Structure 1
Amino acid sequence: MKGVLAVWIIATAFQYSIAAYADLGITYGTNGDNFPSPVRVSEFLEKDMKHKIPIVRFLNADVEILQAFSDTNLGVTISVTNAEIPTVATSQEAANAWVHDHITPFAANSRVRFRYITVGIEAIPGDLAPLVTPAMTNIYQALILVKSKDFIKVTTVVSPTVLGQSYPPSTGQFEQSVSGVMDNVTRFLQNIGSPLLLNIYPYYALVNEPDKISMQYALFQSKEPVVIDGEYKYYNLFDAMVDAFVAATEKVVGNGGLRVVVSETGWPTKGNEPYTNVKNAQIYNSNLRHHVITVGRTPRQGDYKMEVYIYSMFNEDKKPDPVGASFGTFNDDLTEVYPIWH
């Protein structure tokens, strides 16, 4: 029993030590052909000191990938997929089984350094939206049963579509049709001490409103504040988008709102000139990395260090949209598409 307790304490300490210093990671999408094996990817990320990518997010909970990332020092985020939400939300037994299959074998002896379980990816808005909080609740209860709730955080992933207002950032609030759902999500996450995960893409904001947003503002290149929102000054669109979410959660729970983590951001290299090219992608991701490492906070979230995951590890050629398929930062041979990691 003492040995088990010692392992649990070490695992818990490791999780919180990651949170203290490992702020920039990568999302590992798998919707493509000719990818290197998960074992090769895990070995590359763990051993390659040039890139120093210590945290990885997966879009599912594939057992083959979890096996490949066992016994590494990489912080891992996995997901209950949208398709699994109805079953997990309506059955505690199903949630227990999900944790038994995807967490228990790999958490034993800290084989996988789990950080988050995201219940759904952009499931709000939509038919699944009312089920997100019940599903998170059941997964959380399942983690309690296996004594893992203190070092594996349960959360969900949302996109800017859940905001009804976002400019200026202080006016951020949830869109009326999902405000009840997002209020429940926000309060639940606050109660269990988990952050809200966000997929944020200044690229898409730029191409949707090129007459209102400058390329410099989207690419972290503005030398003067573009938006002054009370006491806060915004030199880049990324910070403004994050802080609109922070403001929205403040309106629900007060006290500075929730901590937010950026689970996806990046810039595509193909499909929509003049916005999509290697040069712009390199500028965005390089400046993002510099911002995360050197500034480490958004104006409104000054008490929290940023945690950001670049999307994505590889181009995903099975996606029908050429823009969506070209966010990769590494080639299939694990060379860089363009240098940003050093």
Structure 2
Amino acid sequence: MNAINPFASSHFLDAAQVGICYGRVANNLPPPTMAIDLLKSNGIQRLRLFNPDPAALKPFYGTGIELMIGVPNEILPTLANGTITTSIQWLQSNIFAHVLPNQVKYLAVGNEVFLKDPFYTPFVVPAIFNLYQAIQTLGLYDTVKLSSSHASTILSNSFPPSSSAFDPNLRPALVPLLRFLQDTGSPLMVNVYPFFSYIDNQQYVTLDYALFRSSRVEIDQDLAYSNMFDATIDSFVYAMEREGFYGIPVVVTETGWPTSGGDAAGVDNALVYNGNIVARALGNVGTPKRPGVGVEVFLFDLFDENGKSGGEYEKHFGIFGLNGIKNYDIRFN
């Protein structure tokens, strides 16, 4: 196996964190105070909020829970075209008016923009630059990391991992982003769903390979892959190296498995998948290309979201029921 890259961020030296996403596309969610109680009682110290909704954000003030907060796609043009003062005012009004600055660990500037919301693509990197300068001005550049969260489909090729490359049409936006990430020690943020890879490619992907229980090993340049999660993470690492960027951490901003909705969905498979994700993160298992380098993950999702579109699966990723009881017996520490 390859040694850990000597240029890797010190981020790698810490135990990988396990957080959870707090999706709110629903009309029946319990109050945020209940979400906070669930996080605390289960030892979950990090949360992803997709938007800085004051109603969801304010209750986290002073709780000690660390936050990844999304900067909505639709605000990117304003931030990109504005001054540094514009970004400072936006941060102070939308985030730091509601939670303590030391609770904010990440700003995810846009979510899956490049392929799902391409109108905003030209604004991602300029918005990040302005927000970064704003963060510097506020004296928070040592504690708040900025990046942008992307779907796995920004890769034009992902198998085998060593042959991976980014979609060439995205290079004009991706290369400046990667340069920023390397210069600032920030992570590449990716949403990784072996479930959907399996559903969409059953002729090539086995359920066991998606669920960490395959007895078959794929060999790629002397590295052995026994599951899709590892292969996907390393595909991003190889793709970054192909562009000349080494040692950028990878943070998985969404991953999970649905408990209902059809083929392969169910509480048993959700427990197997998410349980393996948690154990591997906490154990700093890493991947074949970066062994011993734990992958920080945010599990999707805290609750089911009955307002989600895109198929029945999308509504059933909740780890907890609306009554606060776990849908399956997963442990987070």
Give the TM-score of the pair, scaled to structure 1.
0.88
Equivalent-residue separation in structure 2 for 1:149 and 1:174 (angstroms): 28
**AA in 1 matched with 2:246:** N
Give the alignment of 1:1-342 within 5 angstroms. 20-21=14-15, 23-46=17-40, 48=41, 51-92=42-83, 93-106=85-98, 108=100, 113-125=103-115, 126-225=118-217, 227-256=218-247, 258-273=248-263, 275-302=264-291, 304-320=293-309, 321-341=311-331
Q: Tell me the equivalent position of 2:4.
A: none
Aligned AA (1:316): E
Between 1 and 2, higher relative CO (CA 8 Å, sep ≥ 6) is seen in 2
Tell me the SS of whatever aligns to 1:179.
helix
For the structure 1 residues 107 and 336, does the alpha-carbon distance in structure 2 shift closer, same or farther, using more than 3 Å as the test?
Answer: closer
**Structure-1 separation of matches of 2:11 and 2:31:** 29
Identity rate of aligned residues, in percent? 32
Deviations along 1:187-219, whole A, 9 cap, x unmatched? Answer: 111111100110000011111110111111000
Change (3 A) 1:264 1:102: same
- Partners of 2:288 and 2:121 lie apart in 1 by 30
CA apart distance, 1:310: 0.6
Contact 1:220 1:284 in 2 (8 A): yes
Give the total of aligned pairs: 319
Residues 127 and 17 (structure 1 numbering): CA distance in 2 closer, same or farther, change over 3 Å?
Answer: closer
Q: 2:56 & 2:249 partners in 1: Cα distance?
A: 28
Which residue type is aligned with residue 38 of structure 1? P
Q: TM-score, normalised by structure 2?
A: 0.90
Give the aligned CA root-mean-square deviation in angstroms. Answer: 2.0
Shift of 1:294: 2.8
In terms of mean alpha carbon deviation, does 323-332 or 286-295 score higher? 286-295
C-alpha separation between the residues in 1 aligned to 2:210 and 2:292? 24
Amino acid at match of 1:287: N
The offset of 1:231, in angstroms, is 2.7
Instruction: Look up the equivalent residue of 1:228 and give its one-letter code.
Output: I
- How much has 1:319 moved relative to structure 2? 1.3
Q: Structure 1 pair 106/150, CA: closer, same or farther in 2 (3 Å)?
A: farther
Q: SS of the counterpart of 1:290?
A: helix
Unpaired segments of 5 or more residues in structure 1? 1-15
The one-character-per-residue Cα deviations of 1:296-329 (angstroms, maximum 9, x if unpaired) are 3112233632101110000000113211111111
SS, match of residue 128 in structure 1: helix
SS at 1:253 equivalent: coil
Flag structure 2 segments of 5+ consecutive residues without an equivalent.
Answer: 1-9
